[in-house]
Structure 1
Amino acid sequence: MSSLRIFDIAASAMSAQNTRLNATASNLANVDSVAASPEQAYRARVPLFQTVMDAAGVAGVRTDGVVDSQKPPEARYEPGHPMADAEGYIYAPAINTVEEMANMISASRSYQNAVDVMSTSRDLMLATLQIGRS
């Protein structure tokens, strides 16, 4: 395995965690949004990842896209709300703020770990070059 392959692996991890952070940020930004119908309600964004293997058996990660959650929106009975339907309901996204915050912390730490892997690999490569100069 090429010693430079570690940078590709770490970069794929950083890209995946960036997608995860963006989806979480979108979910948290829309947690208090409401709609007049279930079809118009915001649906939480969920990134899809896949492990990819190269010919040498080295794994990386690929983002297959971001899909909408299948959880139905929450119906809230608020007949005085300007967006209430004929029965007096408004519809809010089914987003758990605590889960989203935990997801954000996990993605942030995973991203930082990938940055640390790249930094350590660079430092080790530079140290190896210094040994060769001696």
Structure 2
Amino acid sequence: MGAFDALDIASSSLGMHQTWLDALANNIANANTVVSTDQQAFQAQMVIAQADPSGGVDVAGIAEGDGEGVMEYAPDHPLADEDGYVRAPAMDLASQMTQLVMAQRGYQASVQVTKYAQDSYSSALTIGGR
């Protein structure tokens, strides 16, 4: 393990968690988005993370949820079909919020690791400078 590997690993974690947070924010913002029944529903984004062989983590891709969604009865909605239905996203808002907390905590932990590594490197430079 090299001298700056901790910073590289924490940096990759920050990037992955930021991507996860962005996807979750988009999902939560669109949780109540409905469309007419002849359109695809909003598809929730799910970040796929994978371990980097050299250390850290990478975003392997972003999977999308089911465009089929769920049919909701809303006869007064302007997009409702002749039977009174609209198409809503097939996602659980509680699950999205739970994941948001996990992503935030992961991001905070990565920031703390970065801070500790920087402090350690600064201390080492101070010792070496004497």
TM-score normalized with structure 2 length: 0.91
Asked if the contact 1:48/1:67 (under 8 Å) is kept, the reply is yes
What CA distance in whole angstroms lies between the structure 1 residues aligned with 2:58 and 2:38? 32
Counterpart of 2:92 in structure 1 is 96
Structure 2: how far apart are the matches of 1:122 and 1:106?
A: 24
2:7 maps to 7
Deviation at residue 107 of structure 1 after TM alignment: 0.6
CA RMSD of aligned residues (A): 1.6
- 1:124 partnered with 2:109: no
Q: Does 1:106 align with 2:110?
A: no
1:66 aligns with one of 44, 62, 69: 62
Amino-acid identity (%):
32
- In 2, distance between residues paired with 1:8 and 1:39? 43
Does structure 1 residue 18 correspond to structure 2 residue 14? no
Q: Distance in 2 between matches of 1:38 and 1:114?
A: 43
Gaps of 5+ in 2: none
Runs of 4+ in structure 1 over 3 Å off? none
1:78 aligned onto 2:95: no
Query: Offset of 1:71 from its aligned partner?
Result: 7.1
Q: Give the C-alpha shift of residue 40 in structure 1.
A: 2.5
3-state SS, counterpart of residue 6 of structure 2? helix
TM-score of the superposed pair, with normalisation by structure 1: 0.88
Deviation of the 1:33 alpha carbon: 0.7
Q: Secondary structure at the match of 1:66?
A: strand
- Listed one character per residue, the Cα deviations across residues 37-72 of structure 1 (whole Å, up to 9, x for unaligned) are 264210111111111112xxxx31111222211374
Matched residues, number: 130
